[in-house]
Structure 1
Amino acid sequence: MSRPEYLAPPEIFYNDEEARKYTRNTRIIDIQVKMSERAVELLLLPEDQPCFLLDIGCGSGLSGSVLEDDGHYWIGMDISKSMLDIAIEREVEGDVILSDMGQGCPFRAGTFDGCISISALQWLCNADKTSHRPVQRLYTFFSTLYACLSRNARAVFQFYPENSNQMELITAQAMKAGFYGGVVCDFPNSTKAKKFFLVLMTGGNMPLPQALGDQEDKNCVSYMAKREHVKKARGKPLKNSREWIQEKKERRRRQGKETRADSKFTGRKRSGRF
């Protein structure tokens, strides 16, 4: 099956039908959430401190929901209006804007404490219009992103490089724009679990994070299980628990958003039968 970026430009491929299909597919949702949580982990954000983050290629807000769960504030940008319409319909807590990442990040200098992007970066390597120059679009994107990040901030991109040449092209333009860092490859020996993360840093002198090992490695602890363990240790409510739902609703009330009242049914587990 061909990857989406080989079939049509993103604003055309993710039409109303495809956007709804994407957001309702439980397998896609699960994958997006896991990759988003890994991206946040690689950001190395301060513990127990809300940050202001940028989500590039935010789509319908699946990755933004992960940021919300961690108590962060975010702004998302995407080129697909259909995807953003669903994000608004889902009442995501972040603000979303319609924007082409290849034309740069339209934000003030030093605005964000970090940036994540899930499955979007490889689209910049395509020339969907006669005016598109992948090298120029990559540099424009990275240089404006560098400007709108605070110093010592990180940007983490989960992406699907077509080959090693494309990976080198992307990395070279990021370094030219002022970033330093590199690619972290999780589960390199697995066909399905293998994931590439471009980890970029604006300042400091820290080594790249360690990649997760092969799934067959008995010494490798699932970062999902580790994440839940850390949340428990910090006294944070687990996702989808009654306490987690109430905390999220209270955050929405503080933001002045319309929120359903609590009741004895809030957070109640369903039997799965109708």
Structure 2
Amino acid sequence: MATGAAPGHADRLLTHGDRRPRAVLMLHGYTHSPAQLDVLAGLFFDRGYNVSVPRAPHHGVATPGAHAAVTVEGLLAYAGNALDLAATLGDEVGVIGVSGGAVLATWLAAHRGDTVSRLLALAPLYAPHPGRIPPVLLRPLIRLYGLGLLPDRIDSRGYSYRAVARYLRIAADHPSRPRPGALRHVAVAVSAGDTVVDRRSAFDVPARLAAAAGATLVQDTLPAELGLGHNIVSPIGSADDALARRYLALYENTPLDLPPG
């Protein structure tokens, strides 16, 4: 199976040529690639951040469905190595994650709280929407698919049950007492129209993390009139897009009307 990035889907590294006061690591969503975060990365870069957007294992390649081959070990190694790089780019390091990438970002904030100062989780897939998988079946299905004990299945979104189960195994490994240190701010955004993630978990997990770390917390529900479902990043169309500015404000814990960087 090919593992090299397809054209346009390679890692992104936006730097100002030196170490900056602020750096941010952005982790794209499951089935996506760094291209998903191009506009948001550009907005942060223009605000003075050094920005790293690495490609997850088996993502952004020419082979259709290659993302189904992700493993827990591979995802955690990818996230940890990416954070190590981001830590060389700035004095304060934060993490932004989308969907499955938000699971990894939250894992880093919990297990690497000595390094991660800020967390923004966008549509985090800590648990599936109850309408997709009944909660009583969730734990056994995570085990059976995550360990490869059942043949893989692909849903209508192109999601591999096996791959999603592995993200959910990571989501279940959030410690009740995160590693203390740098974490100062946690934010989460979920669309009112999201039928993929369990919104209760999407808000509860970051809230528990923030409380345990003594960090500030901002929770944002994108209103139904925006017409958004689970994908709340790809609709961003330009660097001054209202959604992009909204996410920057959530991350920085500042009013939405932001001054120039």
Bigger Rg, structure 1 or 2: 1
Q: Report the TM-score when normalising by structure 2.
A: 0.40
Greater RCO, CA 8 A, separation 6+: 2
